[in-house]
Amino acid sequence: MKVIIGAVAGAIGLILLIVIGIAVLVIDDESSTMDATNGGSGLQGVPAEFREWILKADADCKEPAMTPALLAAQLYQESKFKTSIAEATSSVGAQGPAQFMPGTWATWGRDADGNGRNSPWDIGDAVMAQGRMMCSLLRQAATSGYPGGPRALALAGYNAGWGRVQQYRGVPPESFANGETYNYVRLILSTMTRFQGPALVPVAFTGTGTGPDALRKASTRLGTPYAYGGGSPSGPSTGFCDGLNGYQNGRCAASTTTGFDCSSLTQYAYWPSVKLPRTAAAQYGATSDRPVSRSDLKPGDLLFWSNSSGFIYHVGLYAGEGRVLHAPRTGKTVELVPLASAMPERDYLGATRP
């Protein structure tokens, strides 16, 4: 998270700024393509264990520039949502999924998840501390009068410290710290749309019971890439190609894509309450004794499609209001679409209730 620059280097940078007028990164929230999204209030494409904390951190901040997508894109840039000591410890000592330095954690860290410890390694503690710090920085940015927009300025402050933003009267230039802060800001703002989900949660997602619970869990993976053979009860993973499936533009995309295929998504959604088998055909076999007519579908019901030979090739989750949540095919992502257009209508086989 933090750029470590010596006092001498900082002084030299300030002198250069004054003497030769180094250009700083100017990002306008209204006009730049780097921050074209308004963020929205929805969220997609984040691990389930992060989702509730990102939404809570967003809700706790009243700054209009704060959005769940901003926090998610920042977490992805910081750690790729990694939580292990081996994967989420930086070379300069930043720790955890939000990459806090110990001194900064002392200011912002709290026991947000109530487990009795205050740790940058706990997802709840880390994300809520990230949210508090970003909220404060957004507030400072909004009143600073510096160019660039509050999100860009706040991100620069998170990465390099607000003192550097004050020093350069904006986002530090590309010449600062080998472009680390400059590119950190650019990358996060440009990837926000990846995590921006629907602003409103459908009514079907708010019910109680095994089906709605599975639907909500699957919805946390909206935007996750499709990977043939990828995914498991523990989350997305790379897949494989079998000579027919998993290819895109003549190459095996599945082997380099981390995601779900249709049946691993439904298996993930129901696990461990209902331990569905791995493939769509096997899931149909395991639940076909509990068929559901199309007129009686409820959130979380499994929907199946088969080809002319009877092979069951696809499964999705009924999401209410005539929609299905599913992982469609290579090149696409987990999506929420009308049931009538999710797959060829003639292939619709029926539904079951796990």
Give per-residue pLDDT as tens, 175-203: 999 999 999 999 999 999 989 876 545 65
Reading the block at residue 272, the tokens are 């461990």
Identify each DSSP E strand in the chain by its residue range.
Answer: 237-238, 247-248, 251-252, 258-259, 291-292, 302-306, 312-318, 323-326, 335-338, 348-352
pLDDT in tens, the chain (354 residues): 644 333 323 333 332 333 333 344 444 433 332 333 333 457 888 887 898 899 889 888 989 899 999 999 999 999 999 999 999 999 999 999 999 999 999 999 999 989 999 999 999 999 999 999 999 999 999 999 999 999 999 999 999 999 999 999 999 999 999 999 999 999 999 999 989 876 545 656 667 899 999 999 998 888 889 999 999 999 999 999 999 999 999 999 999 999 999 999 999 999 999 999 999 999 999 999 999 999 999 999 999 999 999 999 999 999 988 889 999 999 999 998 888 889 999 999 999 999
The three state secondary structure string of 265-314 is HHHHHHCCCCCCCCCHHHHHHHHCCCEECHHHCCCCCEEEEECCCCCEEE
Upstream peptide bond of 272 is cis (omega within 30 degrees of 0): yes
User: pLDDT tens across 238-283, in order?
Assistant: 999 999 999 999 999 999 999 999 999 999 999 999 999 999 999 9
Cα dihedral 297, 301, 303, 304 sign: negative
What is residue 325's three-state secondary structure? strand
| 247 beta partners | 252
Domain ranges of the chain: 7-195, 203-352
Residue type, 321: E
CB 75 within 8 A of CB 54: yes
Paired with 324 in beta bridges are 318, 337
Residue type, 87: E
What is the per-residue pLDDT for 338?
A: 86
Class for the domain spanning 203-352: alpha beta
Token look-up 């402050």 returns 157
Distances (CA, A) of 245 to 80, 129, 228, 239: 27, 43, 7, 10
CATH architecture type of domain 7-195: Orthogonal Bundle (1.10)
